[in-house]
Amino acid sequence: MGEFEPKIVGFLCNWCSYTGADLAGTSRIQYPPNIRVIRVMCSSSVDPIYIVRALMEGADGVLIGGCHPGDCHYINGNYKARRRVVLLKNILGTLGLEEERVWIRWVSASEGQKFADTVTEMVDTIKKLGPNPIPTRWDI
Amino acid sequence: MKKLGVFVCHCGINISSMVDVEDVAEYAKGLDGVEFSTDYKYMCSDVGATLIKESIKEHDLGGVVVACCSPRMHEHTFRKVTKDGGVNAYNLEIANIREQCSWAHDNKVRATEKAKALVRAAAIKALMDESLESSRTKVTPEALVVGGGIAGIQAALDLADTGYRVHLVEKEPSIGGKMSQLDKTFPTLDCSSCILTPKMMEVYNHPRIDLLTYSEIESVEGSIGNYNVKVRKKPRYIDTDKCTGCTDCVSACRMKDRVDNEFNFNMNKRSAVYMTFPQAIPLKTTIDPDSCLYLRFGKCGDGPLCVEACEVGAIDFDQKEEILELNVGSIIVATGYDLVDGAALYEYGYDNYRDVITTLELERLISSSGPTAGKVLCPSNGEAPKSVTFILCVGSRDETQCSWCCRIGCMSALKHVYLLKEKLGKDSEINICYTDIRSFGKGYEEFYGRIRKEANFFRGRPSEVRMKGDGLKMDVFDTTTGKLLEIATDMVVLVPALVPRTDSDTIARALNISRSGDGFFLEAHPKLRPMDTFTNGIFIAGCCQAPKDIQDTVAQASGAAARASVILSKDELENDPLVAAVDPDICAGCGICVEVCPYKARTLNDWTKIAEVDEALCEGCGACVIACPSNASIHRNFTKQQIMQMVDNIL
C-alpha cells in the first residue's frame, strides 16, 4: 500500500473558479490530481447535502470554489455559499468530523496559480489529517 | 434507458501524451448506459464531428459524452454536432480531461485514473439530462457605448453607420478622451486633433448617435438583448440648446485665471465656467460647481458676470441632476486608462521638482492649445531647456508596482525626441534611459531607426533624480557599456505605467463584468474572444482591457462594434434553457426563492400561490434551487439528483 492519496471533490463555479482551474491547465501549472471537479454555475448552487454526500461516500475533502466577494457573476451568490458552508462546518464539527475537510475559497478567472496552490495546500493538509473516518465508523 | 456514446479526444498529443485515451475509451464501454465508445485524434475536426454524428445514427444514441478540452472551449461546438446528429443538444456532456487533467498533471497513471472518473461523472449526468428547447426574447436594436475616447467614438460611429441607434455616455464635458490631450501621434506624426476632431464632429452630427456628455452610468439591469440602463446626467448649468460656444462667459468670469486647469494638468489656470479645450464636442461651456462663486456661496459680486456676458441667455443656475433611462440590446465599455500615480513617480522627484514632468504633461507643453501655447519651457523658470532626459518604464515592468509593459512608452518617447528637436533646435541634448526599446508595430522599428541617431540612449534605470547645485542630476548604470554615468539635465520626463482607471471597480460592478489580476477588464478569451466579456452582450475595447496604442485601440473598437452588431442584427435571441423551473405539484408557495433570486425572475402567483420563473430574466445560477425547502425548485440539467449521482461516481 502506497502513501495515502486523499480524494477531493471540487465544486467550482463556472465563471471564476472553474475558469481559474482551466487557466492553471492552459498555463501548464501543475497540481496533484487528487481533485476531481464538478462544474456548477454558481457556488450558491452547491447544496450542503452535496458536501455531506461526498463525505459519506468517502471523499477525504471537499473544495467549494467561488468568485471573490463582490465579484460574483450572479451578484451575491458567493455570500450565500459562504453562509451555508459556515453553518455546515459547525455541524460537521459536532459530528466529530474535522472542519478542515471542507474548504471554501475564492479563485478568480485569472488566478490559475492560486487555484493550483489551493489544491496543493489542501492535499497536504488532508494528508496530515489522514483518511476520512466515516467509512470506518459504524455510528453514522 | 437512454443509450450513450462516449468520444475521447486525443487533442493531437495534448491529451494523449498524459492520459491513456484508448484505455479511457475502453473503460467507458463498461459504464451504465454506454452503448458505444471510441477515441479519435481531433474530435472537434470535421472528421471527428462526422464520427459523432454517424455513431448517433448507427447506435441510436440518445446522449453524447465528449472527453476533451474545457466545456468553456468546445461545449458550443459539440452541442451543435449533437443537434446535427439528430439528438437534442442538451443531451451533451463534456468531461474536461485537458485543462483540468492532462495539462495540469505529470503522472500518466493517475491522470488516466482521474480522466476515467471525470468520464464516469459526465456519463451519469448525460444519462439524466433532459431534452430542452430555448424560449425567445425580442432584441432592442440600440447600443450603449460607455466612454467617449477614441475607442468609444470609433465603436459608436461604426454601430451608428451600420444602422443602430447608439447612446454614447461620457463622464467629462467633452468627448475626445486622452487622445485629445496629445499633440502628435506615432509613428506617422499625424496631428492628433486633426485626425480626432473630424470623428468627434461626426459623432455630434450623426442622426443615430445620442451624445450624453458630463454623464455617468448609474445602474445596469437586464440581460443580453434587453439591458435597462440608468444614466446620471450632471448639471452643466448651461442651456446647451442656447449656448453657441462663443466663450464670452469664460472671459467674463470673476474666477478667470484662478482655477486649476485639469486638462493641462494644472499647469495653467482657467475660469469657473470653462470649455475643456478649443475643439471640445459638444462646443458648449460648463460651470464647475466646485469653483463657481454663485453656486458655492449663492452670491457672485453684484451678480454673476457670465450671465451679463452671455448674449443668448444660456446660463442656467437652476439646472438639476437628471436620471435618464435607456433600453439597449448591447453595451460596449471603452473607459480608458489612468497614468500610474504612485511611488514610482516620487522616487524620481515628481512631487519635489517642478521640472520633473510626465509624458502627458509634455504633450500639453508641446501642444499649441496648451498652457504655453506650444513652447516647451521649464515650469520652474519659464526658460527653454537645453537638455531633456526621458526615464522609461516608470512603474512599468516592475514587480513591486505594475508588472506589465505600457506598450506606448517607448514609441511616445521616440516621438517626443523628434518633436523636441523641432521645438528646441537640433543642438538640444536629449537623453533616453530605457529598459528595452519595444518598437513592435507597423512602421515602428523604422521610426526608431530614424530617431536613434538624434538622441543619447542609455540602457538602464536611474536610481533617483536629485537637485545638485542648480540642476537636476541622476545616476544611471548603462548596461550596454558597463559604465556608471551621471546625467545632468534641465528637464526630466517620466514615462509612467498605464493602469486601470480608479473608477474601474465601480464600472465593473455596475455592469457585472470581471477584471483580471492587474485590474483591467477581463476578456472572455485572450485570443478568440478578445472583445467579449463573461457577461453576454457586453463588450470591451481600448485601454480599459489592457494598455494599447491608438492603432490597436481603433481596431479593437471596430471589432467590438462588429461583435455588438451580431446581437443587434437579430430580431430575437434564444434564451439559454439551462434555467430554473418549478414543480407545481410540490411547491408550497413559501416564497423563499423569490427573496433569494438576484434577478427578480421569481414571483409568487397571486392566484395559485405557486412560485413561477420568468425564463427571460433567469440567469441560471441555481441559488433558488438550493434555497427551496421542499425540493420543488429545479435547475434544468443541473438537478440535485444529477449532482448527487455525479458525486457518487466521481470518487
Whole-angstrom distance, CA of residue B427 vs CA of residue B589: 85
Spatial contact of A21 and A12, defined as CB atoms under 8 Å apart: yes
Kindly provide the ipTM of the predicted complex, given to two decimals. Answer: 0.96
Spatial contact of A22 and B70, defined as CB atoms under 8 Å apart: yes
Whole-angstrom distance, CA of residue B434 vs CA of residue B460: 6
Longest dimension (CA), chain A: 47
Give me the mean pLDDT over the B490-500 stretch: 97
Give me the mean pLDDT over the B249-275 stretch: 96
Q: Of B498, B517, B551, which closes a domain?
A: B498
Looking at the partner chain, which of A7, A15, A54 has a beta carbon nearest the beta carbon of B534? Answer: A15
Residue B252 clears pLDDT 80, i.e. is over it: yes
Residue B548 sits in which domain range? 136-234+321-337+500-575
B297-316 pLDDT, tens digit each: 999 999 999 999 999 999 99
Q: In residues, how long is chain A?
A: 140
Which residue of A42, A68, A132 to mutate against B (max B Cβ within 10 Å)? Answer: A42
Q: Are residues B45 and B61 in the same domain?
A: yes
Q: Of B95, B128, B161, which closes a domain?
A: B128
Identify the closest residue of chain A to B625 by CA–CA distance. A45
pLDDT band at B349 (very low <50, low <70, confident <90, very high): very high
Q: Are residues B410 and B431 in the same domain?
A: yes
Determine how many CB atoms are found less than 10 A away from the CB of residue B193.
22
Q: What is the pLDDT of residue A71?
A: 83
For the CA atoms of B533, B536, B540, B544, the dihedral, rounded to the nearest 10 degrees, stands at: -50
Q: Are residues B484 and B371 in the same domain?
A: yes
Q: Are residues B351 and B326 in the same domain?
A: no
Residue B291 clears pLDDT 90, i.e. is over it: yes
Say if the Cβ atoms of B635 and A49 lie within 8 Å. no
Cβ contacts (< 8 Å) between A5 and chain B: which residues? 110
CATH number assigned to the domain comprising residue B631: 3.30.70.20
pLDDT band at B346 (very low <50, low <70, confident <90, very high): confident
B645 within a domain of the structure (yes/no): no
B640 within a domain of the structure (yes/no): no
Q: What is the pLDDT of residue A140?
A: 63
Cβ contacts (< 8 Å) between B535 and chain A: which residues? 73
> Omega of the bond prior to B235 within 30 degrees of 0, cis?
no
Q: What is the pLDDT of residue A82?
A: 96
Say if the Cβ atoms of A50 and B647 lie within 8 Å. yes
Give the whole-number percent of chain B exceeding pLDDT 70: 100
B154-179 pLDDT, tens digit each: 999 999 999 999 999 999 999 999 99
B189-230 pLDDT, tens digit each: 999 999 999 999 999 999 999 999 999 999 998 889 999 999
Question: By three-state DSSP, how is residue B168 classified?
Answer: strand
CA A18, distance to chain mean position in Å, is: 12
pLDDT band at B38 (very low <50, low <70, confident <90, very high): very high
A113-140 pLDDT, tens digit each: 999 999 999 999 999 999 999 888 777 6
Q: Are residues B165 and B178 in the same domain?
A: yes
Q: Of B460, B480, B498, which closes a domain?
A: B498
B387-396 pLDDT, tens digit each: 999 999 999 9
Residue A1 clears pLDDT 60, i.e. is over it: no
pLDDT band at B517 (very low <50, low <70, confident <90, very high): confident
B74 within a domain of the structure (yes/no): yes
Q: Are residues B352 and B491 in the same domain?
A: yes
Mean of per-residue pLDDT scores for chain B: 95
Nearest CA of chain A to the CA of B212: how many Å?
28
Give me the mean pLDDT over the B114-124 stretch: 98
Q: Are residues B367 and B509 in the same domain?
A: no
Backbone angles phi, psi at B644, to 5 degrees: -60, -40
Domains of chain B: total? 5
> Omega of the bond prior to B282 within 30 degrees of 0, cis?
yes
Residue B376 clears pLDDT 60, i.e. is over it: yes
Give me the mean pLDDT over the A57-74 stretch: 92
Which letter, b or e, does each residue of B259-287 get, where b requires 16 or more Cβ atoms within 10 Å of its Cβ?
Answer: bebebbbebeebbbbbbbbebbbbbbbbb
Q: Are residues B84 and B103 in the same domain?
A: yes
Question: By three-state DSSP, how is residue B638 classified?
Answer: coil
Question: Closest Cα to residue B406, out of B334, B517, B498?
Answer: B498
Nearest CA of chain B to the CA of A120: how many Å?
12
Give the whole-number percent of chain B exceeding pLDDT 90: 92
Q: Compute the half-sphere exposure of residue B491: CA atoms within 13 Å on the CB side of its CA.
A: 25
Residue B238 clears pLDDT 80, i.e. is over it: yes
Q: Are residues B186 and B327 in the same domain?
A: yes
Identify the closest residue of chain A to B102 by CA–CA distance. A25
A73-77, B46-50, B246-250: least confidently modelled range: A73-77
Domain map (residue ranges) of chain A: 8-136
Q: Are residues B190 and B257 in the same domain?
A: no
Spatial contact of B66 and B95, defined as CB atoms under 8 Å apart: yes
Give me the mean pLDDT over the B255-261 stretch: 96
Q: Are residues B123 and B218 in the same domain?
A: no
What's the topology of domain A8-136? Rossmann fold (3.40.50)
Identify the closest residue of chain A to B637 by CA–CA distance. A40
Q: What is the pLDDT of residue B621?
A: 94
Per the confidence metrics, is the pTM higher than 0.95? no
Looking at the partner chain, which of B99, B619, B647 has a beta carbon nearest the beta carbon of A26? Answer: B99
Q: Are residues B45 and B151 in the same domain?
A: no
